[in-house]
Amino acid sequence: MSDPVHYFGVRHHGPGCARSLLAAFEALKPDCVLIEGPPEADGLVAAVLDPAMTPPVALLTHGVEESGRAVYHPFASFSPEWQALRWAGLAGVPVRFIDLPVGVSLALEKAREEAKEETKEETKEEASEEAAGQPGEPAPAEAAPAEPDAAEPDIAEPVEHSTRRGDPLDWLARAAGYADGETWWNHMVEERGDGEDLFAAISEAMTTLRAESGEDETLDPRTPRAHREVLREAHMRQCIRAARKEGFERIAVVCGAWHLGGLRADVTAKADQALLKGAPKLKVTSTWVPWTYRHLARASGYGAGIHSPGWYEHLWLSSQSAQDGQDGNVGGRRPRAIGWLARVARLMRERDLDCSSAHLIEAARLADTLAALRQRPAPGLDELHEATRTVMTLGDEAVLGFIHDELVIGDRLGGVPADVPTVPLQRNLEQLQKSLRMKPEATQKTLDLDLRQPNDLARSHLLHRLRLIDLPWGEIARTGKSSRGTFHEIWTLQWQPEFALRVIEASRWGQSVAQAATTAVAERCGKSANLAALAELVDRVLLADLPEAVTLASSALQDHAAVTGDADQLLGALPPLANVFRYGNVRQTDAAMVGHVFDGLVTRAAISLPLMGDSLDEAAAEQVRDRVLGAQAAVRLRDPGRQSEPSTQWRAAISQLAAREGAHALLRGLCTRLLLDDGLITADDAGTAMSLQLSRAAEPAKAAAWLDGFLNRNAVVLLHHDGVWPLVDAWLGGLDDEHFIRVLPLVRRTFAHFDAGERRDLGQRAARKGSGVGTVMAAAEWDDARAALPLPLLRLMLGVEA
């Protein structure tokens, strides 16, 4: 009796394998389909036939009690497993996933991490004992480094196992004259039009490679990865045996090609049962989530991806068109190449780049010629890429960059039916996205919000709340219009598939976005003891419109401020809190909720500020300078009229620091400038202070630091204050050679902060002859009669009546 089991070794996400698999299924008509995949998702298979299910999608299997542990199994429309699922569903054939349960894989991963932590602790204890001179246990021999046990399944590589001697596919590629195994596999499998006979060739090649690749040497059973691979294949063999016992006559097994040798190995059921016995297991659950082509690509960080998902989709659609009789070429090869170049041309024209019909014709000819020279039946991606670069972009690598991003990779985002299992937080988020008309998209999108509009304000609240639960769907733009304006907020949005897992993780905080964000804030308040971090948290919850969270964060900030005497932390907490006063009533927030907290911090900071400038080196003084400037701007924002008691206390502290002899010269100069800007001292007072600090008796280095602080990286006072220029000029002119060389780097650094226009104006003023005193403008002669002559014409032009 013939074996009822038929093996189909595939490359995951391979369009050639998918095309050939469908042809093989039509010929075999299997009555049971077994697929390498998570058994926990068997109950979700029926959803693949739902019209709302749009690849790329992924099966997300995550821990129930430890939601942070999860595994994704992605599928594209051109994935062989996806086509096998759809074929079985349409044919009414039983279909099952047979890979090692994800709960076991996650439990093994957890056990490995715990063992590593225990080893680290033991190593620390032994090191401590040796340092203390105490006898300890003899150090064990150095163990071989363990291979990484990746959580993601190996579902995208033609060979899921790499040896120390490289990818075994590279051996076949070099023998055939190819640069690497990826290019060889694409040409021999994915870009061809073979039918079901393809799998016999794949099976022979992979089985031989596995036998010759030194598996016993590289798959050391002591390594976590090898142990997991052994368990995976043992479980798959057990599932195949179970299907045989059920009496199925034509069992189709779809698996990664590298596993063919392991699944066909002569291993008894008793041996496999012994391997699997006692394996740990976590409780998990599965659901469907949208996926993107960028996450299928290796560059995305997904461990088992493909180079060109957009190109693979093009191959798949071209093959489907050929089967539907839309062209007369085998596999649609000629129209496939022309269609690809047409898409490139469309993309270039959308960006106003020259691309004529002549470019297309010559590029197609060059691609055909390259394919012929390389003895290939039709142009592949390499030939089309070279033709595009030579003819259509004229070697412009920048153009090739966006062609790669948008066509070779692609920006497709899949979709899943609304009735797939989700947590309540996910449903609440989807409802908010629908009501606010904020569709998740894989492409990057700029959103300019007018906070005076209720819908835009609600959008802003949602984006800020999501960031509080570690879901950064939007990032505040840092260029273009100011994102901190009074009524505008500019966001850059881009949805990532892994956000689905983050939503599941955040569901422990609540069943709605607002509730989850509030609970997350409360948790952070209990863990953070840094005033600046708490102040920033208050600002974030105000932007998110979470009154309860504002109360929690403000109370935590006030409690920590009451026991904190660190002036640096007090000053650092002021700028974030002041942001609420920047927006005023545009955001409809209650500034009084944090006003009293801000005033209390200002009072405490004012007490500590004078002593803060003592005994500082240059680097520390620069840091305090930035803190003082930030706090000064915050106090002005809080009290523009400078009439409140905290503002008065702050100005008094600035005055004390400016006059404090033990403070760093940079800070004393800065405070003098702040007093001048606020009108608390006159220009003559500032000139007197400068003449004292820049006198011949002053140490040159301290004088230069004081001048740096006073100018405050702004040349306005130097250009327009007639009393300042001669003082600086006289000070520099009176330095001897040794002192001048010492202060030159400091002065040059000060002037380097001025912009180009200011430095040019300073040079022009320095080039003037004389004392440098500003030129006195002569009184203008004013003729009222002549000045009135153009008024009738101006009234006529402006439509103003006399």
352 conformational bin, left if phi > 0, alpha if psi -120 to 50, beta if neither: left
Q: For residue 149, what pLDDT is reported?
A: 36
pLDDT of residue 194: 63
Residues whose CB falls within 8 Å of the CB of residue 571, separated by 6 or more in sequence, listed in order:
605, 609, 627, 628, 630, 631
Contacts 24+ apart (CB under 8 A), 479-484: 481/448, 484/579, 484/582
pLDDT tens-digit series, residues 672-724 = 888 888 888 887 787 788 778 777 777 878 888 888 888 877 777 777 766 67
Whether pLDDT at 771 is above 80: no
**pLDDT of 156 over the 60 cut:** no
Mean pLDDT of 777-793: 77
pLDDT by residue (tens digit) across 178-209? 777 777 887 788 776 566 678 888 888 888 88
Q: Which of 155-169, 316-330, 376-390, 786-800 has the highest mean pLDDT?
A: 376-390
Alpha carbons 157 and 304: distance in angstroms, whole number: 6
Beta strand spans in 410-481 (E): 445-450, 474-476
Helical H segments across 450-546, by residue range: 454-468, 499-506, 513-527, 531-543
Q: Quick one: pLDDT at residue 692?
A: 81
Q: What are 27's two structure tokens?
A: 């010929």
Q: Report the distance separating Cα 197 and Cα 415, nearest Å.
A: 34
Distance CA 359, CA 355 (A): 6
524-548, pLDDT tens digit by residue? 888 877 788 888 888 888 888 888 8
584/82 Cα distance (integer angstroms): 54
Question: Quick check: 220 and 122 in contact, CB under 8 A?
Answer: no
Could you check whether the bond before residue 135 is cis, i.e. omega within 30 degrees of 0? no
Give every CB contact of residue 119 below 8 A, 6+ residues apart in sequence: none
Average pLDDT, the chain: 80
| Range 164-173 average pLDDT | 66
Judge whether 275 and 230 are in contact, CB under 8 Å.
yes
